[in-house]
Chains A and B, each alone.
Chain A
Amino acid sequence: MTGRTTFGIRACTWVWLIMMGLTLTTYLIGQFSLGGLGVSLTVLAFALIKGQMVGDYFMGLKRIRGFWRWPVSLWLFLPGGLIGVAFTLVG
């Protein structure tokens, strides 16, 4: 995936930049002491998106067919679901 470029920038570099941007947004949410269910689930969603990007583009699982395509996605669903349910139940 590193060979393809958009605007002269490698695909993996775009992925890195997007993950850095999502991380900075998450940090700023914390800095403004934003809380509540909606904010928490948004922050969680950012984390899951970044995790999926690591699995797909950094680990290279996007190119894999069959069983090994899914473990990271399923793993993200497991703690993501548990955390989401726990925060939702608290409200």
Chain B
Amino acid sequence: MQVEATIESNRFPPGDLAIWVFILAELAAFAAFFGAYAFTRMKNVELFNHYQSTLDSDAALINTFALITSSYFVVRAVASIREDDSRGCVRWLMAALTMGALFLVVKGHEYVHHIEAGIRLSTNTFYMFYLSLTFFHFMHVIMGMVILAAVAVKASKGGYNDREHTGVETGASYWHMVDLVWLILFPLVYIMR
């Protein structure tokens, strides 16, 4: 009986199945965006290469480190709650939120710099893609942080334990999706030429 239950549980990803349908829809939208960027670049290679070199790759490195590390912290949060360690779960989630906040600060600083330089969506095709792609992702980071914060609050009140922690896994899955998208966005927009 327990073996059957284990096999059944291994047929579905961690967390609420509804979040996975949402994640797939989000990933499809980003895939279309990435494809559009790559094929538009084909007709404007020199323009894309030139303006790509004006971006702050140091900031992008910090942000990539921040998101990968936040995802790692979220993995540790899930592991903690599976061991019935609510306090550990909350600590790891707070650490992940701190990394998320670092991402927002660094990316926000980049946006301020662009705005001060007079860069807008209409400046050129490269910046249209760069600003819209990164801002679309930026909004997903904020959404992910709101979800993780809600999970942390519930965990701090003892709302999860080693038997029932679907909410933690659901929030974690969404956050990993945010990280996953950035892992493609970073080299595509900042590095590949």
The main secondary structure of chain B at its interface with chain A is: helix
A-B contact count (CB 8 A): 136
In the assembled complex, the Cα of A63 lies from the Cα of B76 at a distance in Å of 17
Asked if B192 CB lies within 8 Å of chain A CBs, one says yes
Instruction: Report if A90-B41 is in contact (Cβ < 8 Å); known contacts: A26-B186, A54-B183, A61-B13.
Output: yes
Report chain B residues within 8 Å CB of A35: 49, 193
Instruction: Report if A2-B191 is in contact (Cβ < 8 Å); known contacts: A20-B65, A51-B180, A79-B184.
Output: no
What is A's interface to B at a CB cutoff of 8 Å? 2-3, 12-13, 15-16, 19-20, 23-24, 26-27, 29-31, 33, 35, 40, 43-44, 46-48, 50-51, 54-55, 57-61, 63-68, 71-72, 75-76, 78-80, 82-83, 85-87, 89-90
What is B's interface to A at a CB cutoff of 8 Å? 7, 10-14, 20, 24, 27-28, 30-31, 34-35, 38-39, 41-42, 45, 49, 53, 57, 60-61, 64-65, 68-69, 71-72, 74-76, 79, 172-173, 176, 179-180, 183-184, 186-188, 190-193
